[in-house]
């Protein structure tokens, strides 16, 4: 089955700096890669996703890049703000007719310091 | 707005008890999932369901079973609770195979289960 590795497990940045979280996956058939954000005490929520036919996707201060050859994808947050502090999870999935089973990474605790 | 609810936020049970965790979604989603979340291990899939009365094992199904008698409700059952099942349990749901953002999973608030 799919295996997703995520690094680093913790990341501390100064407000205004950029943050990068990296994930690798094992199943070359995976074609959908979402990122979820979980604030303290809250439920995970989707913040951005990318499909394998796209190399990069941006949404305001966040972007995701995908390298299919190397089987890795990354989340980039620019101009970090205190409200970006949270746990971020990457995931991988092979979209089939039956729906989407996600395999998650182990999470990155991002702390944005003032 | 999509709403996914879980029957309890906190639950304390004793070893050997049978435990039921309930999840309900109100958006007519086809897919429903049960995860457990443990520090350093991320979200691990226990079971999922693509349709009523249908279930498939996830990555860590041992010690658990599920039931989906109605489309909106997905139950997780611990047949005989053990201390290593102490964890946060998260339910999620998503649309079927079509529609905008059909892959997005919407999570419930979680149930913190402690087995003594």
A60-83 pLDDT tens trace: 999 999 999 999 999 999 999 999
Choose, out of B9, B47, B105, the residue to mutate when testing the contact with A (most A CBs < 10 Å): B105
Q: Answer whether B23's CB lies under 8 Å from B31's CB.
A: no
Of A40, A34, A45, A47, nearest to A85 by C-alpha is A40
- Cβ-nearest to A32 among B48, B56, B103: B103
Nearest CA in chain B to A93: B103
Residues of B with CB under 8 A from a CB of A: 30-31, 33, 35, 40-45, 48, 50, 56, 58-59, 90, 94, 96-97, 101-105, 107-110
Task: With cut-offs at 50, 70 and 90, classify the pLDDT of residue A57.
Answer: very high
Would the pLDDT of A98 be above 70? no
Give pLDDT < 70 ranges for chain B: 1-2, 96-102
Contact B31 A99 (CB under 8 A): yes
Q: Which residues of B34-49 are buried (b: 16+ CB within 10 A; e: fewer)?
A: bbbbeeeebbbbbbbb
Task: With cut-offs at 50, 70 and 90, classify the pLDDT of residue A101.
Answer: confident
How is residue B95 written in tokens? 């649309």
Predicted pLDDT at B95: 84
Task: With cut-offs at 50, 70 and 90, classify the pLDDT of residue A41.
Answer: very high
Nearest CA in chain A to B2: A45
Of A104, A67, A79, nearest to A19 by C-alpha is A79
Whole-angstrom distance, CA of residue A38 vs CA of residue A110: 10
Contact B94 A99 (CB under 8 A): yes
């Amino acid at each position: 089955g799919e295996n997703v590795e995520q690094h680093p497990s913790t990341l501390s940045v100064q407000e205004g700096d950029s943050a990068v979280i990296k994930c690798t996956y094992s199943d070359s058939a995976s074609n959908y890669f979402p990122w979820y954000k979980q604030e303290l005490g809250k439920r995970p929520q989707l913040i951005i996703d990318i499909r394998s036919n796209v190399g990069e996707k941006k949404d305001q201060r966040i972007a995701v890049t995908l390298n299919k050859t190397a089987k890795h994808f990354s989340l980039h947050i620019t101009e970090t703000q205190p409200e970006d502090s949270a746990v971020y999870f990457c995931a991988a999935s092979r979209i089939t007719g039956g729906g989407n089973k996600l395999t998650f990474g182990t999470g990155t605790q991002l702390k944005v310091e003032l | 707005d999509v709403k996914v609810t879980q029957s309890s936020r906190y639950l304390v049970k004793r070893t050997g008890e049978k435990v039921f965790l309930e999840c309900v979604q109100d958006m007519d989603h086809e897919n429903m999932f049960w995860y457990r979340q443990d520090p350093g291990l991320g979200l691990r899939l226990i079971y999922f369901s693509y349709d009523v009365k249908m279930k498939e094992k996830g990555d860590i199904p041992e010690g658990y079973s599920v039931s989906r008698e109605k489309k909106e409700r997905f139950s997780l059952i611990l047949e005989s609770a053990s201390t290593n099942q102490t964890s946060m349990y998260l339910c999620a749901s998503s649309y079927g195979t079509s529609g905008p953002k059909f892959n997005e999973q919407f999570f419930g608030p979680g149930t913190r289960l402690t087995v003594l």
